[in-house]
């Protein structure tokens, strides 16, 4: 199991996820016997200082954001043989992506409960001056006790860093971070994150929960991003695809994926308040 076996105090059990930048193992704390997740840099990036910096930045942000129930907690940041790793809260269950592959769509009540949890998590993140930048079904775990965890702060950015990039950093030559199907038009154009760009990604995720598809599809990432930045292109009507999704839920999702930032919800707090005005919300107290 590569370097993860050399991390003192933890016994790796199995590899549970592998991405382009990191590997994630389920492991046991040898003292407490509790299960944790260990995120360690993928071997192909061991010599990449930018990926070292990204994982350590994720760990630093995660240690600061340990008091939100809908975020997977970072418990420890360390290095083994100069390779960074994170010890994280283990979030059992299936990803929302896996659930959508199995079921294609969620019910109106389930979409609402997902919206409440995501709005809660983003409200906290933004209050701490952090933008997630990668809200999507792959980064949401739903467990058997009907709750969710928003994962992966790998692309997350502080408000101060975003401000710095806006005025002092030449971001035009830097790669765009995130998944094209969930990127707000202004994020694609400027590479500058904001509360509104996270809200757009949340809206795309909820649209996918409601309809079984993201708002804009394509045969390539470039084709998808071209549709995203086209301010005159609208997503297919939710009600025509999923008639059982209530008009109120449709309106909320449609506003969250408004192409013009000023027409979108301005804050996660605003989304939260709108959800609590929804006639069905008070009847749903758990998530999916």
Determine the Cα–Cα distance for residues 142 and 102; give it in Å rounded to an integer.
Answer: 13
Q: Examine the domain organization and report whether 117 and 240 are in the same domain.
A: yes
pLDDT digit string, tens, across residues 144-178: 656 889 998 889 988 665 544 554 555 555 667 88
Q: Examine the domain organization and report whether 83 and 98 are in the same domain.
A: no
Domain count, the chain: 2
pLDDT digit string, tens, across residues 163-221: 445 545 555 556 678 899 999 999 999 999 999 999 999 999 999 999 999 999 999 99
Determine the Cα–Cα distance for residues 231 and 226; give it in Å rounded to an integer.
Answer: 10
Q: Last residue of some domain: 65, 89, 113?
A: 89
Q: Examine the domain organization and report whether 264 and 121 are in the same domain.
A: yes
Take residue 206 and report the two structure tokens written for it. 């909820």
Residue 288, domain member (yes or no):
no
Q: Examine the domain organization and report whether 47 and 117 are in the same domain.
A: no
The CATH number of the domain where 85 resides is what? 3.30.200.20
Q: Which residue in 213, 280, 274, 284 sits closest to 246, CA to CA?
A: 280
Take residue 204 and report the two structure tokens written for it. 């795309």
Q: Examine the domain organization and report whether 138 and 15 are in the same domain.
A: no
In this predicted structure, the answer to whether residue 31 has a pLDDT above a threshold of 70 is yes
Confidence of residue 43 (pLDDT cuts 50, 70, 90): confident
Q: Examine the domain organization and report whether 139 and 262 are in the same domain.
A: yes
Residue 233, domain member (yes or no):
yes
Confidence of residue 119 (pLDDT cuts 50, 70, 90): very high
Residue 260, domain member (yes or no):
yes
The predicted pLDDT at position 177 comes to 82
In this predicted structure, the answer to whether residue 36 has a pLDDT above a threshold of 50 is yes
End-to-end Cα spacing for the chain = 34
Q: Last residue of some domain: 89, 122, 143?
A: 89
Q: Examine the domain organization and report whether 136 and 214 are in the same domain.
A: yes
Q: Examine the domain organization and report whether 6 and 134 are in the same domain.
A: no
Residue 216, domain member (yes or no):
yes
Q: Three-class SS of residue 78?
A: strand
Neighbours of 6 (CB within 10 A): 13
User: For all residues of the chain together, what is the average pLDDT?
Assistant: 89
The predicted pLDDT at position 19 comes to 75
Q: Examine the domain organization and report whether 76 and 109 are in the same domain.
A: no
Q: Examine the domain organization and report whether 77 and 183 are in the same domain.
A: no
The predicted pLDDT at position 287 comes to 47
Regarding predicted confidence, which is higher, 284 or 49? 49
The predicted pLDDT at position 166 comes to 53
Q: Last residue of some domain: 89, 123, 145?
A: 89
The predicted pLDDT at position 67 comes to 75
Beta strands in 32-143, from DSSP E residues, in sequence order: 35-41, 74-80, 83-89, 94-95, 130-131, 140-142
The predicted pLDDT at position 39 comes to 95
The CATH number of the domain where 231 resides is what? 1.10.510.10
Q: Examine the domain organization and report whether 118 and 232 are in the same domain.
A: yes
The predicted pLDDT at position 21 comes to 85
Residue 160, domain member (yes or no):
yes
Take residue 162 and report the two structure tokens written for it. 């975003």
What is the residue range of 14's domain? 2-89
CB 114 within 8 A of CB 106: yes
Burial class (CB in 10 A: 0-12, 13-18, 19+), 277: exposed
Q: Three-class SS of residue 124?
A: helix
Take residue 23 and report the two structure tokens written for it. 């590997």
Those residues whose C-beta lies under 8 Å from the C-beta of residue 241, and which sit 6 or more positions away, are 210, 211, 212, 213
The predicted pLDDT at position 87 comes to 96
Q: Examine the domain organization and report whether 12 and 130 are in the same domain.
A: no
Beta strands in the chain, from DSSP E residues, in sequence order: 10-18, 22-29, 35-41, 74-80, 83-89, 94-95, 130-131, 140-142, 148-150, 157-158
For the sheet with 83-89, list strands across it: 10-18, 22-29, 35-41, 83-89, 74-80
């Amino acid at each position: 199991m590569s370097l993860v076996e050399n991390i003192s105090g933890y016994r790796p059990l199995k590899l549970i996820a592998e991405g382009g930048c990191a590997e994630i193992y389920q492991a046991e704390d040898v003292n407490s016997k509790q299960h944790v997740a260990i995120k360690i840099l993928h071997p192909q990036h061991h010599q990449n200082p930018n990926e070292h910096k990204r994982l350590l930045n994720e760990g630093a942000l995660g240690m600061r954001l340990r008091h939100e129930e809908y975020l997977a907690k970072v418990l420890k940041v360390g290095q083994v043989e100069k390779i960074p790793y994170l010890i994280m809260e283990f979030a059992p269950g299936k990803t929302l992506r896996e659930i959508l592959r199995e079921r294609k769509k969620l019910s109106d009540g389930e979409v609402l409960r997902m919206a409440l949890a995501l709005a809660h998590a983003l409200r906290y993140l933004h209050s701490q001056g952090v933008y997630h930048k990668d809200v999507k079904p792959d980064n949401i775990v739903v467990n058997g006790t009907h709750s969710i965890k928003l994962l992966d702060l790998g692309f997350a950015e502080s408000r101060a860093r975003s401000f710095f990039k806006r005025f002092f950093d030449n971001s035009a030559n830097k790669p765009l971070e995130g998944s094209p199907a969930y990127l707000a038009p202004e994020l694609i154009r400027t590479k500058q994150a904001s509360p509104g760009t996270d809200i757009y990604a949340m809206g795309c995720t909820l649209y996918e929960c409601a309809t079984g598809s993201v708002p804009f599809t394509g045969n390539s990432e470039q084709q998808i991003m071209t549709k995203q930045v086209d301010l005159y292109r609208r997503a297919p009507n939710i009600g025509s695809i999923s008639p059982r999704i209530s008009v109120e839920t449709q309106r909320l999702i449609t506003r969250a994926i408004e192409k013009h930032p000023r027409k979108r919800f301005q804050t996660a707090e605003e989304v939260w308040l709108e959800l609590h005005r929804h006639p069905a919300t008070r009847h749903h107290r758990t998530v999916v």
